[in-house]
Structure 1
Amino acid sequence: MRDLATLPKAHLHLHFTGSMDVPTLRDMAARHGIRVPAALVDDDPLRVPADERGWFRFQRLYDAARACVRSEADMRQVVDAAARADAAEGSVRLEMQVDPTSYAPFVGGITPAVEIVLDAAREASAAHGLEVAVVVAASRMRHPLDARTLARLAARYAGEGPGEVVGFGLSNDERHGDTEQFAAAFRIARRAGLAAVPHGGELLGPAHVATVLESLHPDRLGHGVRASEDPAVLADVVERGVALEVCPASNVGLGVYEDVAEVPLRALVDAGATVALGADDPLLFGSRLTAQYEAARTAHGFSDAELADLARASVRASRASDASRASMLARIDEWISQPEEDGAETGEESVTNG
C-alpha cells in the first residue's frame, strides 16, 4: 500500500480554531494565563451523543479553545500551524474556514480579522509549499443580517489563489436558524464569484439537505452524509454536481454514527457523488486529514486507485485555478503510478502496481 501522507490532496473542510493541535493550544493558553478544560488537551477524541446536550458539550469545548486566540500573533500562529500540519500530510491545497466575528474584538473589527487571516495564509503558503485560501463563514446562531455583512466583506477579497477568499459558508448547529433566511447572504457571495459552502445533512437528515439545496444552491455541502438516507435527495445532490465534504471522524465524534465503518462513504461514492474528505476539527476529534483517507482504506476497503480518485475529487471541488488544479492532478497521477510499498501482501504474494 502506498503512503497516504504523500498522496497529494486538497483539504476543503477545516475550521480555524478546530485546526489547532494540542501543543499549539497549550502554548496559547499559557501565554494568556488561561486554564483550558482537560478534555481539550488529553489527546482523547471527543465522543458525544447526537443531541442538543451533546452539541452543547462540543460547543463549550470549542468556545474554550477559541477563547485562547486573543491577538494577531495568535491568529497567525493558528494559520501557520494548520498549513504546516497539512503540508506534512501531503495537502497541496487548504481552504480554511473562519468566522472573523469571534476574533474581531481583539484586533479592531471583522475587517482586520479577515485581513490578518488572509495575510497569514499567504505567508504560510510560501513557507510550507501549499496553497492556503480562506472560506469566510457565518453562524446559524446569529441573525441573517450578520451573514449578509460577512458575505459583503468576503466579496471584497474574492479570488482563487493563496491568501484570498474563495468561498462563503454557514456553520454551527444546523438544528437552529432558518436556512431560507440566509439565502440573501449567499446571493451576495455568488455574485462575487465565491463558492457557496454551507453545512448541512449531518445532525439533520435528508430533508435538511433538500432545504439547503433549494435555498442556498451550494457548490459544496459541509458533511451532507445524511443524503444517503434518501435516494431521491442523493440523486439530486449528484445531478446538481454538489461536492460533499465528508468528515468521518467528526461524524463519529458527534454521535451521528457509532464508528467510521458506518459512515456511508462507499454508498455516496457508488451513487456518483463527488466526495472530498475533511478533518473538520482535529483538536476535538483527534485526527487530521490523512487519517480520514486511512479510514476509507481500512474501514471501507478503498483501493489505492480509489483513494487517488478521492484526492482528485477534492482537487476538482476546490477553487484552485485551472493551472494549479492541473499541476495537483498530475502529482496525484504520479503518486498512483509509483509501486506499492514493500510488505503489501495479498496473502499469497507481494503486489505492486506500476
Structure 2
Amino acid sequence: MRDLTTLPKTHLHLHFTGSMRPATLAELADEAGVRLPPALLDGVALRVPASERGWFRFQRLYDAARAVVRSEAAMRRIVREAAEDDAAEGSRRLEIQVDPTSYAPFVGGLTPALEIVLDEARSASRATGVEVAVVVAASRMRHPLDARTLARLAVHHQPDGVVGFGLSNDERRGDTSLFAGAFSIARRAGLASLPHGGELLGPDHVRDVLAHLGPTRLGHGVRLADDLSLLEKVTEAGITLELAPASNVALGVYPTAADVPLRRLFEAGAQIALSADDPLLFVSRLADQYRIAREDHGMDDAQLAELARMSVRGSLASEASKRRWLAEIDDWLAAPAAPPSGPTV
C-alpha cells in the first residue's frame, strides 16, 4: 500500500479555530490565563449524539477554544501551522474557512481580522509550498444581516485571496432562505458559494440549500446517500461534496466510520473532497480521512487516487495548478506500492 501522506490532494473544508494543534491551544490558553475544559486537552476525539444536547457540547468546546485566540500573533500562528500540517500530509492546497467576527474585538475590527488571515495565508503559502486560500463564512446562529456584512467584506477582499463565501454552524438553526441575499452578493462578484448542508439534516435540507444558496460545493452533504436521485442532480450540477467521515462519527450522524456511506456515494458517482473539518475536536486530520476510506471502506490505491483527483477538481485553484497536481497523483499511483510488512510465507 502506498503512503497516504505522500498522496497529492487538496483540503477544502477546514475551520480556522478547529484547525488548531492541541499544543497551540494549550499555550494560547496559558498566555491568556484561560482555563480550558479538560475534554479539549485529553487527546480523545469528541463523540456526541447528533441532538440539540450533543451539538451544544460540541459548540461549547469550540467556543472555549476560540476564546483563547486574542491577538494577531495567535491568528497568524493558526494559519501558519494549518499550512504546515497540510504540507506534511501531502496537501497541495488549503481553503481555510474563517468567520472573523469572533476575533475582531481583539485586533481592531472585522477588516483587520480578515486582513491578518489573508496576509498570513500568503506568507504561509510561500513558506510551505501549500496554496492557502480563504473562505469567509457566516454563522447560522447570527442574524442574516450579519451575513450580508461578511459577504460584502469577502467581495472587497477577493483580490487578496478570498475565494468563497460559506455558511456554517448548526444547520438545524435559522431559515436558509434568509441567507439568500448574502450569497447573492457573493456570487454576483464571482465568489464560490460554499454552505454547509446535509449532515445533521437530510435531503430536504439539501434541497433548501440548492434552492436558496446556489452552492458551488456542499459542506458535508453526506446525507445525500438517503436520496440517490437528488444526489444525481447534485452531481450533474457539478457540485462537490466536502465529506468529513470523522466529523460524521464524532457528531453522531453515523455510529462508526464504517457506517459513513462513503463508498455508496463514491459508487453512485458523487464528486467527493475528503476533509478534516475540525481536527482539534475530532482528533483526525486530512490523511486520516483517506485511511478511513482505505481501512473502513476497503478502497484500493486506485480509488484513493480518484478521491484525491476529485478533491483537486473541486478546488478553486487555477487550471494550471490542477493539471500539475493531477499529474502528481498519476505519478503517485504509478510508483510501486510498499511490500506488505510481516514475515513471508
Measured against the shorter chain, the TM-score band is over 0.9
Distance in 2 (CA, whole Å) between partners of 1:57 and 1:144 is 24
Corresponding residue for 1:185? 182
Q: Contact (CA 8 Å) 1:252, 1:259: kept in 2 or not?
A: yes
Deviation at 1:231, TM superposition (A): 2.0
Q: Contact (CA 8 Å) 1:158, 1:166: kept in 2 or not?
A: yes
TM alignment of 1:163-202, pairs within 5 A: 164-202=161-199
Corresponding residue for 1:331? 328
Corresponding residue for 1:28? 28
Deviation at 1:344, TM superposition (A): 6.6
Corresponding residue for 1:257? 254
Distance in 2 (CA, whole Å) between partners of 1:12 and 1:132 is 10
Corresponding residue for 2:295? 298
Distance 1:344 1:332, change over 3 A: farther
Distance in 2 (CA, whole Å) between partners of 1:133 and 1:240 is 24
Say whether 1:53 aligns with 2:45: no
RMSD: 1.3
Q: Which amino acid aligns with 2:203?
A: P
Q: Which amino acid aligns with 2:170?
A: D
Using structure 1 for the length normalisation, give the TM-score. Answer: 0.95
Corresponding residue for 2:16? 16
1:259-314 Cα offsets, whole Å, 9 max, x none, are: 11011111111111100000000000011000000000011111101111111100
Aligned partner of residue 276 in structure 1, secondary structure: coil
Flag structure 1 segments of 5+ consecutive residues without an equivalent: 350-354
Q: Which amino acid aligns with 1:127?
A: A
Q: Which amino acid aligns with 1:326?
A: R
Deviation at 1:232, TM superposition (A): 2.1
Q: Contact (CA 8 Å) 1:241, 1:273: kept in 2 or not?
A: no
Q: Contact (CA 8 Å) 1:111, 1:153: kept in 2 or not?
A: yes
Q: Which amino acid aligns with 1:152?
A: R
Distance in 2 (CA, whole Å) between partners of 1:348 and 1:203 is 46
Say whether 1:132 aligns with 2:132: yes
- Correspondence for 2:275 among 278, 296, 300: 278
- Correspondence for 1:311 among 287, 308, 311: 308
Flag structure 2 segments of 5+ consecutive residues without an equivalent: none
Deviation at 1:111, TM superposition (A): 0.6
The ranges of structure 1 where at least 4 consecutive aligned residues each deviate by more than 3 angstroms after the TM superposition are none
Q: Contact (CA 8 Å) 1:249, 1:260: kept in 2 or not?
A: yes
TM alignment of 1:152-163, pairs within 5 A: 152-159=152-159
The alignment-based identity, stated in percent, is 67
Using structure 2 for the length normalisation, give the TM-score. Answer: 0.98
Q: Which amino acid aligns with 1:31?
A: E
- Correspondence for 1:248 among 241, 245, 248: 245
Distance in 2 (CA, whole Å) between partners of 1:140 and 1:18 is 17
Aligned partner of residue 158 in structure 2, secondary structure: coil
Distance in 2 (CA, whole Å) between partners of 1:143 and 1:126 is 37
Distance in 1 (CA, whole Å) between partners of 2:289 and 2:67 is 28
Aligned partner of residue 275 in structure 1, secondary structure: coil
Q: Which amino acid aligns with 2:326?
A: L
Q: Which amino acid aligns with 1:61?
A: L
Distance in 2 (CA, whole Å) between partners of 1:93 and 1:198 is 19
Aligned partner of residue 277 in structure 1, secondary structure: coil
